[in-house]
Structure 1
Amino acid sequence: MTRTIIAQGTFDILHPGHVHYLEEAAAMGDELVVIVARKANVDHKETPICPAKQRRDVVDALEPVDRAILGHEEDIFVPIEAIDPDVIALGHDQHHDESAIEDELERREIECVVKRASAREPTADSEILSTRHIIDRILERRD
């Protein structure tokens, strides 16, 4: 029996923190499906710079990822219902409320667990593990 894991995120500018998250998520099961958020669903931070299909294609090319798909524009649980995962893996710093996700999964009769990936500390002083910090650095240097 295949154990399916869902990871999700914006993945606007990929960095080692994203890779760590996806490697940990992949290690939780046999198949990793990544749901890449559409711009309409990104309301907790600045909207993505890169188009959704581009972000999906880049995530899909990563070794730990078996398949990357675009999220549903109106209901983020639609792809979760279709995939019927065993685990939803959240990034260590993602804004999601685990108990609210669990309540919605139960309401929709989707039997899976929600787990958080661990944080990854920078391995060098110059390593940046945040899309926002990468953008800030670009703006600072190009200003």
Structure 2
Amino acid sequence: MEQNQKIILSILYVCQIEGTKPIEKIKEKTIISDDEIKSKIDELVKNQFLEEDGNTLTELGRNALQVVLAGGVFDIIHPGHIHTLNSAKALGDILVVVVATDNTAVKMKKRKPLHSQEQRKELVNSLSMVDLCLIGQEDDIFKTVNNVRPEIIALGYDQVHQEKFITDGCKRINLDARVARLQSPIPESSSSKIQKEYGESIHGI
């Protein structure tokens, strides 16, 4: 499969989850004409990667993509986040990032986040390596996992989720996903530390 076809397939996957129209995104990502887009979609339909509607991935089309799922609070985007998300994206074709809800963020960080869940979603969505950002589910993280159906679940160096918990949860929803633990070259970098140091510098002025 050629690169532009893979990109179109990836965008259609993302738009299926978002419930959005893909044409503008395809134009933006591929810089090809409307006629070329139509031709490539027709070819994907002919090769049974897409249903006849030209929008819905078949099982063959979905299996052609490696989807990586990563999650976190992402309250203050710092170099550690960028490195981790770049590493996550390198594992597959599509990177889906789940930001924690405000309530979950408070439980995880023991403080109220500086940015709301919608603001954090917008920030993460603006990062070039991220294909889709979603707000997580408070009651069951595996609802989002089941919606995305990733091949790989990437955990950051500082995430407390145990791999067995993730693996067992995936088995419950009949998902055979690999768990990848990512490393950071700057593990001392964290949103909480940045917020604390910024607060101290303001008080010291």
TM-score past 0.5 threshold:
yes
Matches within 5 A, 1:20-59: 20-42=83-105, 43-45=107-109, 46-59=111-124
Deviation at 1:112, TM superposition (A): 0.4
Identity value in percent? 37
Rounded to whole Å, the distance in 2 between the matches of 1:101 and 1:52 is: 23
CA positional deviation for 1:121 = 2.5
Among 48, 68, 73, the alignment partner of 2:138 is: 73
1:11 aligns with 2:74: yes
Name 1:125's counterpart in structure 2: none
Could you tell me which residue of structure 1 aligns to residue 180 of structure 2? 115
Give TM-score, length-normalised by structure 2. 0.64
Question: Structure 2 stretches of 5 or more lacking a match?
Answer: 1-63
**1:49 partner amino acid:** L
Cα root mean square deviation, aligned:
1.3
Give the corresponding residue for 1:105: 170
In structure 1, the partner of 2:156 is 91
Shift of 1:73: 2.6
1:65-123 CA-to-partner distances (Å, cap 9, x unmatched) read 0111111132111111011000000101111111111111112211101111112228x
Size of the aligned set, in residue pairs, is 138
**CA-CA distance at 1:29 after TM superposition:** 0.1
Residue equivalent to 2:56 = none
- Greater fraction of residues in strand: 1
Higher helix content, 1 or 2: 2
Higher Rg of the two aligned structures: 2
Shift of 1:44: 2.4
Distance across 1 between alignment mates of 2:162 and 2:87 = 20
Distance, in Å, in 2 between the alignment partners of 1:142 and 1:85 is 42
Ranges of 4+ aligned residues in structure 1 off by more than 4 Å: none
Q: Per chain length, whose mean CA-contact separation is higher, i.e. which structure has more relative contact order (CA < 8 Å, sep 6+)?
A: 1
After superposition, the C-alpha distances for 1:18-49 in whole angstroms (9 at most, x for unaligned) are 00110000000000000111012232222322
Residue 196 (structure 2) pairs with residue 136 (structure 1): yes
